[in-house]
Amino acid sequence: MVSAVAVVTDSTAYLPPGLAELQALTVVPLQIAVGGTDWDESDISFAEAAEAPNITTSRPSPARFADVYRAAADGGASEVVSVHLSASMSGTVEAARLAADDAPVPVRVVDSGTIGMGLGFAVLSAAATALSGGTGEQAADAALRRAKLTRSLLYVDNLEHLRRGGRIGTAATLFGSALMVKPLLDIADGRIEPLEKVRTSTRALARLEELAVIEAGDRRVDLGVQHLGAPSRAESLAARLRERIPHVQDVYVGEVGPVIGAHVGPGVIAAVVAPHL
């Protein structure tokens, strides 16, 4: 089914392979600079990028968004809804808004206030609304409401990558470094914030599971379990959450890309709980 509303997102949603095409989504990649060469993050793995001493990430250019919006209009779209990672973490929303000003059709740019599958579930809600005949306003509203309902919980081995990238403050770094404490984080008000500290990785992952179960409660929810270089841990967590959450619907397990990887480091595990609208 062809929708009059085109839905666009960026690569940090880390949607499962094939899902963007199935939902008629256009994904604009963020960039990662490795050894002086710029790559679309979809064209390089974190393992390849990590071989370079310095990794930097950057937003897509306004020109790239302009091309996408123009292509959507040429393809028959009368409106575009463009849903992206938190403006507090990236300039992607700003670039999208700059391009929207000169687009040939109206473009609604949505700051999801989150990243990863938190963004992914918001985008999927926008796409479902558009494919069912909803307006651009309705699709944007669905994305925002889903993003606000969704909770993203993260385990990281340490906070050094986040501190170096400016995504978390020096004081918060002490939270994760003292006595080998393993930090649990969440995303609040568009930013990554410390949540709890646990002594060992085993206990931290058990607590991550418990928090996800509590967050889901008796609601109908979708789940995302994302990781970087820890597939067995992610699959195990997903299997336990399927057993423990009574009304779980879709469960997506996958690896994040080098843009998030550059800021959180290997070993990260995220549990994303997305209640249905």
The predicted structure's pLDDT at residue 183? 83
Which among 176, 177, 156, 135 has a CA at the least distance from the CA of 230? 156
Q: What Å distances lie between residue 27 and 7, 102, 141, CA to CA? A: 9, 20, 19
Interatomic CA distance for residues 1 and 175, integer angstroms: 50
Torsions phi, psi of 183, nearest 5? -85, 140
DSSP 61: P
Q: Where are the beta strands (DSSP E) in 156-255?
A: 182-188, 191-198, 221-227, 248-255
Amino acid occupying residue 259? V
Interatomic CA distance for residues 253 and 15, integer angstroms: 10
The predicted structure's pLDDT at residue 42? 86
Average pLDDT, the chain: 89
Instruction: Name the pLDDT band for 158 (thresholds 50, 70, 90).
Output: low
Rg (CA), the chain: 18
Interatomic CA distance for residues 51 and 54, integer angstroms: 9
151-275 CATH, one of 3.40.50.10860, 3.30.1180.10, 1.10.1040.10, 3.30.420.10: 3.30.1180.10
User: In this structure, what token pair is assigned to residue 67?
Assistant: 């091309």
pLDDT in tens, 129-138: 999 999 999 9
109: three-class secondary structure by DSSP: strand
The predicted structure's pLDDT at residue 35? 76
The predicted structure's pLDDT at residue 160? 59
Amino acid occupying residue 219? R
Which among 142, 15, 22 has a CA at the least distance from the CA of 81? 142
pLDDT in tens, 227-253: 999 999 999 999 999 999 999 999 999
pLDDT in tens, 32-75: 888 778 889 988 887 777 666 677 889 999 999 999 999 999 99
Q: What Å distances lie between residue 242 and 10, 249, 252, 254, CA to CA? A: 28, 9, 11, 15
Mean of pLDDT values over 82-93: 96
Instruction: Name the pLDDT band for 98 (thresholds 50, 70, 90).
Output: very high
Cα(first)–Cα(last) distance of the chain, in Å?
A: 22
Class of domain 5-147: alpha beta
**Range in 22-31, 48-57, 134-143 the model is least confident about:** 48-57
Helices and strands in the chain: count of H runs, count of E runs: 11, 13
pLDDT in tens, 159-217: 655 555 545 544 455 454 555 678 899 998 898 888 888 888 899 999 999 999 999 99
Give 35's contacts (C-beta < 8 A, 6+ positions apart). Answer: 52, 54
DSSP string, 261-276: HHHH-TT-EEEEEEE-
The predicted structure's pLDDT at residue 170? 46
List 83's β-bridge partners, or say none: 110
Q: What Å distances lie between residue 126 and 44, 145, 222, CA to CA? A: 28, 10, 15
Structural domain boundaries in the chain: 5-147, 151-275
